[in-house]
Structure 1
Amino acid sequence: MSIALCPGSFDPFTLGHRFVVERAAARFDEVVVTVVVNPNKQGMFTVDERIDLISSTCADLPNVRVDRWRGLLVDYMRNEGITTMVKGLRSTVDFEYEVPMAQMNRELADVETLFLWGDPKFAHVSSSLVKEVAKLGGDVEPFLPPDVFAAVMRKVNGELSV
């Protein structure tokens, strides 16, 4: 059985993320979307909220499950018996950033990283940019799954829960 890990902070989970997860799900028996916990970052969404949003967004992909991890991803992968990591790329800038991590993961735990090019129509979209534009009143609906868009709007408008 082939299993791949798709890690990220996913704050929020965009259509670009969904595109990469969908492509990975077509190539592996199972895909584990892992929300990586960074204690030094204050996100728009809690980890539990992100997991719920990703789960609802990917509910139509039966071979995708969502989990969380704090620490080295290679430790999680060892614990789960996963040897392939999937990372989405929007541009060569992403590639330059990701390659050293991929090489380190291979050295630490014999993890291979599979890079998938994202959908070109979302090449300019990042979670950080989506949050910034939404907070300033811009329309981010074209970049987010419907449930995530609704949750972002609730957060921007000061409502407490998603």
Structure 2
Amino acid sequence: MKRIAVCPGSFDPITLGHLDIINRASTLFDKVIVLVSFNAAKKAAFTVGERVEMIYDVVKDLDNVVVDCNDGLLADYLKRTGATAIVKGLRAVSDFEYEFQMALANRKLYDGAETVFLTTTGENMFLSSSVVKQIAYFGGDISGFVPPQIHDFIKSRLLKSDDIKI
């Protein structure tokens, strides 16, 4: 039986912190699905299609990693794909409280859903898509925060963009 995990997130945009968690998950599971999820509470800077393409560009060399998107419940997606694990990265204790609630909710909706928490590396503890967007908006250097393959696209899109609310 294949061990399939889902790494869900908005990935708006994907960061080196996200990529670290994805890389590590790919060593633990037979297949990892990086899932761009729709979050009604967030106004995205990039379309779902753009986020999927950016992620694909940075994971295409990982043989057991695929990219997908979903606009429904994560528990339903797991059932449909046969995935049994949700992989979430934790930066701080504050992340744990929210992610623990989500893990319990997903388990209640689908008893085959286990959540695996991977702690971030020290250099990524502060890193989030929101931080990247704010730095890029003001023309700051984001090269240490995002994969090089998508750096220019992110920077050109976010620099003093009227679409971005910081």
What TM-score do the two structures reach when normalised by structure 2?
Answer: 0.91
Distance 2:28 2:65 in 1: 12
Contact 2:86–2:116 at 8 Å: present in 1 too? yes
Q: In the TM superposition, what are the counterparts of 1:6-85 in structure 2 within 5 Å?
A: 6-85=7-86
The one of 143, 155, 158 equivalent to 2:157 is 155
Deviation of 1:40 after TM superposition, in Å, equals 4.9
2:141 counterpart residue number: 139
Q: Which residue identity lines up with residue 135 of structure 1 in the other structure?
A: Y
How many residue pairs align between the two structures?
Answer: 159
Dislocated runs of 4+, deviation >2 Å: 38-42, 156-159
Contact 1:87–1:113 at 8 Å: present in 2 too? yes
Distance 1:3 1:61 in 2: 14
Report the aligned-residue RMSD. Answer: 1.4
Where 2:116 maps in the other structure, the secondary structure is strand
Distance 1:94 1:40 in 2: 17
Deviation of 1:147 after TM superposition, in Å, equals 2.1
Contact 1:5–1:85 at 8 Å: present in 2 too? yes
Of stretches 24-33 and 129-138 in structure 1, the one that deviates more from structure 2 is 129-138
1:121 counterpart residue number: 123
What TM-score do the two structures reach when normalised by structure 1?
Answer: 0.93
1:106 counterpart residue number: 107
Distance 2:46 2:18 in 1: 16
Distance 1:85 1:117 in 2: 14
Where 2:144 maps in the other structure, the secondary structure is helix
Q: Which structure 1 residue ranges, 5 or more long, are not aligned? A: none
